[in-house]
Amino acid sequence: MSIIELKNVQKMYRTKEIETIALENVNLSIDKGEFLSIMGPSGCGKSTLLNIIGLLDIPNRGHLHINGQDTSQLNDKEAAKFRNKTVGFIFQSFHLIPSLNVLDNVQLPLLYRSGSGINKTARAKEVLEKVGLSHRMKHFPTQLSGGQSQRVAIARAIIGQPEIILADEPTGNLDSKMGMEIIELLFDLNREGSTIVMVTHDEHIAKQTKRIARFFDGRQVE
């Protein structure tokens, strides 16, 4: 059974002057444990798609099912809980919180998880170990390089052990060596069972993933 299923999804942005159709009639299903690359030119709706899958945005039409559940029925609190437990986001420009140190940034998802009884700090150290940054826990985001920042972001994305990881051009701001390190990390996570949806411009990277979905002007073309 597919873990993510989009049915006839349409997303339209309306500003005063123009209407932009960011996604048009998208049907996509992604299986558990898959590593899917999403490719396409800038502005074709890749980020919009990821936002919709991660419930950061809602479609104007169509449905999104996660693990068989229709997400359009969720209220604010339930959607927040879903984001907290089921997905982990990785962004192109890292989006760490500048006023928090590495340790607190990584712990962020656990902060919004009620009474899980886990040792948050120990867990954060564990995932930082995994991304190779346990020696930078007390640093603030401005004191980190791009590659380090993205590794912290990955640690944050996986600390809550989500089933789905959504990565929007995770290597877009990194040089190719650092980029490859990040991709390796993602492959590790995929091998451990995470379902990964990744937007990328890099054909070489995309070719290594199990499947590629190509978009053009809001439509899936392949």
Partner 1 sequence: MHKVYLKQAWQMLKEDKVIGIITISGTALAITMIMVVILTQEIKTKNITPEIYRERTMYIEYTREESREKSHININPVSGRLYKQYLSQLKTPELLSLQKRDQSRISIINQDEYLNVDILYTDSEFWKMYRFSFEEGKPFSKEDFHSGLPTAVICKSMAQKLFKGESPLGKEFLYKNKQHRICGVVKDISTLCDKAYSQIWIPYTSVFEKMEDGHFTVVILAGNKNDFNNIKKEVRESEIRNLREIDKNTVQFIGPYSRRELLVKEGNLTNEDPNLKKSAFRFYLILAILLLIPAVNLSGFSLFRIINRTSEIGIRKAFGANRKTILTQVLYENLLTSLTGGIIGLLLSYFTVTLIKDRLFTIENNSFGEVTIPISSFISPSIFFYVFLICLILNLLSSGIPAWRASRLHTADAIKS
Ligand X SMILES: Nc1ncnc2c1ncn2[C@@H]1O[C@H](COP(=O)(O)OP(=O)(O)O)[C@@H](O)[C@H]1O
The site for ligand X (CB under 6 A) is made up of 13, 15, 20, 22, 42-48
**Does residue 125 belong to the site contacting partner 1 (CB under 8 A)?**
no
Q: In what order do the strands lie in the sheet with 2-14?
A: 19-31, 2-14, 61-66, 69-70
Q: How far apart are the first and last CA of the chain?
A: 21
**Does residue 100 belong to the site contacting partner 1 (CB under 8 A)?**
yes
For residue 86, give the nearest of 107, 66, 70 by alpha carbon.
66
Distance of CA 167 to the CA centre of its chain: 4
94, 172 Cβ separation under 8 angstroms: no
CB of 179 to ligand X, least distance (A): 18
**Using CB under 8 A, which of the segments 27-35, 96-104, 170-178, 204-212 binds partner 1?**
96-104
**Does residue 104 belong to the site contacting partner 1 (CB under 8 A)?**
yes
CB of 195 to ligand X, least distance (A): 20
151 binds, among ligand X, Mg ion, partner 1, none (CB under 5 to 8 A by kind): none
Pick 84 or 195: Cβ nearer partner 1: 84
Dihedral of CA atoms 167, 112, 67, 79 in degrees, nearest 10, equals -90
161, 140 Cβ separation under 8 angstroms: no
**Does residue 19 belong to the site contacting partner 1 (CB under 8 A)?**
no
**Does residue 195 belong to the site contacting Mg ion (CB under 5 A)?**
no
User: What is the rounded CA–CA span in Å between residue 88 and residue 143?
Assistant: 24
Q: Which DSSP string corresponds to 155-185?
A: HHHHTT--SEEEEESTTTTS-HHHHHHHHHH
Pick 108 or 178: Cβ nearer partner 1: 108
**Does residue 91 belong to the site contacting partner 1 (CB under 8 A)?**
yes
CA 110 → CA 15, 71, 201, distances in Å?
Answer: 36, 22, 32
| x-marked contacts with Mg ion along 40-59 as a string, rule CB under 5 A | -------x------------
CA 3 → CA 163, 168, 195, distances in Å?
Answer: 9, 19, 8
Residue of the chain from 44, 89, 128, 144 that contacts partner 1 (CB under 8 A): 89
What is the Rg, in whole angstroms, of the alpha carbon atoms belonging to the chain?
Answer: 17
| x-marked contacts with partner 1 along 56-75 as a string, rule CB under 8 A | xx------------------
Q: Contact positions toward Mg ion, by CB under 5 A?
A: 47
Q: Contact positions toward partner 1, by CB under 8 A?
A: 51, 54, 56-57, 76-77, 79-81, 83-85, 89, 91, 95, 97-100, 104, 107-109, 111-113, 156, 160
